[in-house]
Structure 1
């Protein structure tokens, strides 16, 4: 019952927000950046997701946020913090409903099967960052069970930096760890944490309904210090190590 009580207002808010955001994008209005922010905040409140931020988003611009990826909830959690853009695999753009929402969020889609896609995507990322919007890159290339950080991929990190140019125009790279730490006031241990994660070959609709039914989720966002991204591979290794360290601290309560 709770799932449907949450789903109905979520659908209503979405139906109101869709045409407003479409018009904002069509006429290039400033509201195209603020509508998604408000939308995600409303959805988090309806679903029952509480977000705690550790550290702070770098004020340096242009900014590339490099993060782990756990669930479809990550989009709402991050989208509710500030106006930003996401990088997602091209398949997401073809998903019914989700694809439309992603496009209205101004998501940058990358075709991982195309060898020429990296340069194009990097150029789009650079343009968004130059306009002042942080770009969020889920550097693992997929989602995990929330208990670990998978290896980060360096191609887009380096390409985006190269597209920005060097010197003062180079993008700042900031690592981020997303940690799902509790539900209904009870800490999520290793066995229960995958209940909030969406990964592997899990079907979206059953997982979504289960999350709506349970609700009361506690999430922590851990922002690390900005990195020196002059070297692509070194920056990727540093970002991965930072995200892994912050996630371990969030899940265990112990600094590493």
Structure 2
């Protein structure tokens, strides 16, 4: 009964500030009077606080542009965690467009929606991402293409790394900065998560959002760490499969280090 009450209160609080912030964000998008990056960052930070998710960052985030942040993917919470950073935009699965609340904010945050299963659409999707990178928008790519259990990193898919090369055009002197980032779920209620508990916190497959949200609320305070790796310069002449492997290796190494510490 108490857990249900907490769930209802949390949903109510999020609903209370979400609609006004959506209106403000729409004004930002339509008028350009102020940055359209302010409201999404504020919403993500407020929602993390309501859910009892505490985020710690380790390492230095690159300020170079164009920039693509390449991360592992554990849960829908990853979007809030990285969205709480300064001025990032997401490369998201197309079905996220229809999610309640998160889907709307993803659209207002100017996410690029991709259909990974449609290979013929990949060149068009890559060009859209390339345009955003060229405009100076830091883009977040969950390179595994799906969610894992939080205990290991799945192989990175290299297809959308090609968008970084497209952003450079024919200019061989320019580079896109690929910044590896590891998202690590470390502790619940102040106690370190074991492999089974971390897997439970993860959001794998077609689990419904609301039951998983209740699980997250029951786990609070939930401690998450974001580790930034060494930036990887990616040029027109670079090999996307090679750069994908290098980013994957860095993320895997950072995840292992965080879990062992």
Same fold (TM over 0.5): yes
Change (3 A) 1:232 1:209: same
CA distance in 2, matches of 1:29, 1:131: 18
1:173 Cα deviation from its structure 2 partner: 0.7
Q: Could you state the TM-score of these two structures normalised by the residue count of structure 2? A: 0.92
Q: Could you state the TM-score of these two structures normalised by the residue count of structure 1? A: 0.93
Q: Which runs of 5+ in 1 are unaligned?
A: none
Aligned to 1:23: 27
1:132 Cα deviation from its structure 2 partner: 2.3
Per-residue CA shift, 1:203-244, capped at 9, x if unaligned?
111001221233201000010001143211110110111100
Alignment coverage as a number of residue pairs: 253
Secondary structure in 1 matching 2:247: helix
How do 1:6-85 and structure 2 match up within 5 A? Answer: 6-85=10-89
Farther-moved stretch of structure 1 (78-87 vs 228-237) = 228-237
Secondary structure in 2 matching 1:31: coil
Per-residue CA shift, 1:56-98, capped at 9, x if unaligned?
1111111011110001111111111111110011111133443
Secondary structure in 2 matching 1:116: helix
Aligned to 2:98: 94
On the 8 A contact 1:172/1:228 being kept in 2, the answer is yes
Of residues 110, 114, 122, the one that matches 1:110 is: 114
Q: Which runs of 5+ in 2 are unaligned?
A: none
On the 8 A contact 2:133/2:167 being kept in 1, the answer is no
CA distance in 1, matches of 2:167, 2:66: 12
Of residues 223, 237, 244, the one that matches 2:252 is: 244
On the 8 A contact 1:62/1:132 being kept in 2, the answer is yes
Aligned to 1:231: 239
Per-residue CA shift, 1:75-124, capped at 9, x if unaligned?
11111111111001111113344322210121101122333322222222
